Amino acid sequence: MVNKVRSFIERYNMLSVGDRILVGVSGGADSICLFHVLLELSSEYNLTLHVVHVNHGIRGSQADSDEAFVKELARRHNVSFHRVKRDVPAIAREQGLSEEEAGRNVRYETFYKFFEEYKCDKIAVAHNKNDNAETFLFNLFRGSGIKGLSGIPPVRDRVIRPILCLERSEIEAYLDQHQISYRVDSTNLTDDYSRNKIRNKILTYAKDEINAGVIEHINKSANMLKEIDDFIFKNVKRAYTDIVKEYENKKISINVDDFNKLDIVIQKELIREVIRRLSNRLRDIDSFHIESTLELIDKQVGKEIHLPYGISVKKGYKDIVFMLDKSGDRQVNQGKDTTIDKANKEFEPISLEVPSTVYLPQTDEVISIKLIPYKENVVIPKEDYTKWFDYDKIKNKLLLRTRQEGDFIQIDSKGGTKKIKSLFINEKIPRDKRNQVPLIADGSHIIWVIGVRISEAYKINNNTKTILEISINGGNKNGKNN
């Protein structure tokens, strides 16, 4: 089994010699298997492991016992151990999320925090083929597009999934063979969560009554759909360039005549791409929203529909126009549309693609992101709101967001850092405004506190190969110079 995982790791270039790996370990069979496999490979790759355990505060003493189990496991193998305990049910209630989603958010926030703190190279998590099958069916049932049916990626940014090539039966057989103990999460045995129902009822029935190889077959289908999705996206990008127009006032239009010449598959994915570029998310967009937009094309001029995320779509004379509402953000929350007054709210994190153009929440300001090859004697721009960064120093997917616990910025060339909270105090930013200050974050490391300063760690130098340029309104907005 370890050889199978090794081949999978090599196929996707997951590990490099000398990597420092943060390993998410819950204590369950999957994460314990991941930990022991990485232990076996650690001498081969000269790995340094850091175990991180998140106590979700859901199962009381059982959760505390899981934490103690993982702590002892790490101690026994002389691996550093870090734990975080959060009240996930309370967070779910406060943020209007399911406990599943809130737990996932807490885990990854924790992983990235320690990833930065311990200067790791990768984050290893324990998704396997069963998880992939469950995700496939979950997305299928909620009407996801082809991207949602493409499964869990083996590698995304700094996150690696070395045992995604294994079924849960293989994992349990490996642990039994080596007499390795693990914990059983009692919540996985209930049908309280959607994924549990898929795991315990649908997949179990399919495996027992229809085809014993259902997990493998779903994974193969997801892989094929990923290949198809990659091909479709190339065509969508070409169509976007040819027939879509972007405007400064959070508006995107599609020429109807040209749109009607496209294959229906490209039409649907082009609509998704327009929505993604306006809102920077697609989670609440399902087939109903796409079909409603397609139906609008054949209706009379002036007809309008409303989508999640405050997006309206209106039929024009020669185009359909997508607009992002400036006054509020209509979100899908537990099946209901709610309008949120954004003037006094923190905004949701926005993933920054390279290159891309996004709108700064709560304003009409445009953020532009692009790459520039480094050249000797290049002149660094002096505009207050155009900043250059060394692109190769960035470790994670960049996020535009507000402050979070653990955020910091490097303040000098010697590596000195300061917490964002302290920076705000020193800069005399009013307490009631601090949660609205936009930040551009590489994990917990803030590369730019917009309007205040950039991190010394990302400044370009003679060793820079590629420059990441980020500008707001073309660099014309007034602000501080550092």
> What's the CATH code of the domain at 123?
3.40.50.620
Same domain, residue pair 133 and 201: yes
Confidence of residue 188 (pLDDT cuts 50, 70, 90): low
Please give the backbone phi and psi of residue 387, each rounded to the nearest 5 degrees, phi first: -125, 145
Judged against a pLDDT cut of 80, whether residue 190 lies above it is answered with: no
Average pLDDT (110-135) is 90
Same domain, residue pair 182 and 35: yes
Confidence of residue 50 (pLDDT cuts 50, 70, 90): very high
Considering 302, 317, 341, which residue would you say is the last residue of a domain?
Answer: 341
Q: What pLDDT does residue 170 have?
A: 93
Q: State the residue range of the domain holding 82.
A: 2-209
Q: Select the more confidently predicted residue: 121 or 93.
A: 121
Please give the backbone phi and psi of residue 438, each rounded to the nearest 5 degrees, phi first: -75, 135
Same domain, residue pair 291 and 410: no
Considering 181, 209, 237, which residue would you say is the last residue of a domain?
Answer: 209
Identify whether 116 is part of a domain.
yes
Q: What pLDDT does residue 478 have?
A: 39
Q: What pLDDT does residue 379 have?
A: 83
Judged against a pLDDT cut of 80, whether residue 197 lies above it is answered with: yes
Same domain, residue pair 325 and 358: no
Tens digits of per-residue pLDDT, 339-368? 323 333 456 788 888 887 776 655 556 788
Percent of the chain predicted with pLDDT > 90: 40
Judged against a pLDDT cut of 70, whether residue 405 lies above it is answered with: yes
Judged against a pLDDT cut of 50, whether residue 333 lies above it is answered with: no
Same domain, residue pair 389 and 266: no
Identify whether 214 is part of a domain.
no
CA diameter of the chain: 71
Judged against a pLDDT cut of 90, whether residue 250 lies above it is answered with: no
Average pLDDT (327-344) is 35
Same domain, residue pair 39 and 186: yes
Identify whether 57 is part of a domain.
yes
Same domain, residue pair 160 and 61: yes
Q: Global pTM? A: 0.58
Q: What pLDDT does residue 151 have?
A: 85
Q: What pLDDT does residue 33 have?
A: 94
How much is the CA Rg of the chain, to the nearest whole Å? Answer: 24
Identify whether 397 is part of a domain.
yes
Identify whether 438 is part of a domain.
yes
Same domain, residue pair 289 and 179: no
Out of 67-81, 295-309, 372-386, give the one with best mean pLDDT: 67-81
Q: What pLDDT does residue 71 have?
A: 92
Identify whether 238 is part of a domain.
no
Judged against a pLDDT cut of 60, whether residue 331 lies above it is answered with: no
Judged against a pLDDT cut of 70, whether residue 182 lies above it is answered with: yes
CA gap 411, 393 in Å, rounded: 16
Same domain, residue pair 302 and 374: no
Whole-number mean pLDDT of the chain? Answer: 84
**Domains in the chain, number:** 3
Confidence of residue 316 (pLDDT cuts 50, 70, 90): confident
Percent of the chain predicted with pLDDT > 70: 89
Q: What pLDDT does residue 336 have?
A: 32
Identify whether 97 is part of a domain.
yes
> What is the separation, in whole angstroms, between the first and last Cα of the chain?
53
Tens digits of per-residue pLDDT, 286-308? 777 888 899 888 888 888 888 88
Same domain, residue pair 372 and 313: no
Identify whether 482 is part of a domain.
no
Confidence of residue 326 (pLDDT cuts 50, 70, 90): low
> What's the CATH code of the domain at 327?
3.30.465.60
Buried (b) or exposed (e) across 157-188, using 16+ Cβ within 10 A? ebbbbbbbbbbbebbeebbeeeeeebbebeee
Sheet of 122-124, strands arranged across: 80-85, 48-55, 20-24, 122-124, 159-160, 155-156
Same domain, residue pair 327 and 453: no
Answer whether 144's CB lies under 8 Å from 136's CB. Answer: no
Same domain, residue pair 449 and 325: no
Please give the backbone phi and psi of residue 151, each rounded to the nearest 5 degrees, phi first: 85, -175
For residue 201, give the nearest of 211, 189, 213 by alpha carbon.
189
Average pLDDT (46-66) is 87
Tens digits of per-residue pLDDT, 134-175? 889 988 887 777 777 888 889 988 899 999 999 999 999 999
Considering 286, 309, 341, which residue would you say is the last residue of a domain?
Answer: 341
Q: What pLDDT does residue 361 have?
A: 59
